[in-house]
Amino acid sequence: MEQIYKFKADHTQPKILDLGANIGLSVIFFKELYPEAKVVALEADPKIFSYLQSNIHSNNYSQVELINKAVWYENSLLNFVSEGADSGQIGSASHKQNGVEVEAVDIAELLSTQQFDFIKMDIEGAEDLVLPRCQGLLDSVQHFFIEYHSKVGHKQNLNEILNLLSQEGFRVYMENPFERQAPFLGLDSYAGFDFQLNIYAWKD
């Protein structure tokens, strides 16, 4: 696995919040990097969650809490469209017949009741709604990885995300994991997205 989540913690027991854990490769990476770390991992897709459980339990990791819920800006029930791999996402009403109902937890509730050193957020386009809810709740967070998705036909809000991170005291580095040739001539889309960025944010 690429070491895009590698970070240097101030102690041997960092607390990590993994939002969009998928089958658990990120959790495994964190536990191999810091065996004593406490990881709270959320995955909304019920099918994928079973693989996440199997992968984590087969490694006998301690201090890993697995939660089969979506992360959202409030506690609610959401329609989740499962792609079956790595791009399942919150669906609109028009996709309801293709989705399943999942429970969602308010990100503010997680951040106000626990302190985290590192947050990984890969929630397939929901970051534009979830991140604003984090404002004022990131004092303990030293490292924040966000996978930003640009939705086809929707207003891009990268500037708002970067502004929030700046207000919260983070510096950022960004990279496009899928370099495109001649973007002025058009962008291919995947799972409803035409652009993606890995955003690395940290505090000095």
Tens digit of pLDDT at every position of the chain (204 positions): 568 999 999 999 999 999 999 999 999 999 999 999 999 999 999 999 999 999 999 999 999 999 999 999 999 999 998 765 555 667 544 445 567 899 999 999 999 999 999 999 999 999 999 999 999 999 999 999 999 999 999 999 999 999 999 999 999 999 998 888 899 998 888 888 999 999 999 999
- 3: in domain: no
State whether residue 49 is helix, strand or coil. Answer: helix
- 2: in domain: no
Dihedral over alpha carbons 10, 12, 16, 20 (to 10 degrees): 120
d(CA 150, CA 183): 14
- What contacts 204, CB < 8 A, 6 or more positions away? 171
Q: Are 30 and 39 in contact (CB under 8 A)?
A: yes
- 9: in domain: no
User: For residue 144, what are the CA distances in angstroms to 17, 25, 83, 101, 121?
Assistant: 10, 17, 26, 28, 8
What distance separates the 2 farthest-apart alpha carbons in the chain?
50
- What contacts 85, CB < 8 A, 6 or more positions away? none
pLDDT at 93: 45
pLDDT at 116: 98
- 137: in domain: yes
Q: Position 38: which residue type?
A: K
Residue (of 62, 57, 53) closest to 34 by Cα position: 62
- 4: in domain: no
- 6: in domain: no
- 7: in domain: no
User: For residue 119, what are the CA distances in angstroms to 13, 131, 159, 172, 185?
Assistant: 14, 11, 20, 14, 35
Specify the number of domains making up the chain: 1
Domain span holding position 86: 15-202
Q: Are 59 and 73 in contact (CB under 8 A)?
A: no
- 109: in domain: yes
Q: Please report which helix (H) or strand (E) contains residue 112, including its range.
A: helix 107-113
CATH code, domain carrying 125: 3.40.50.150
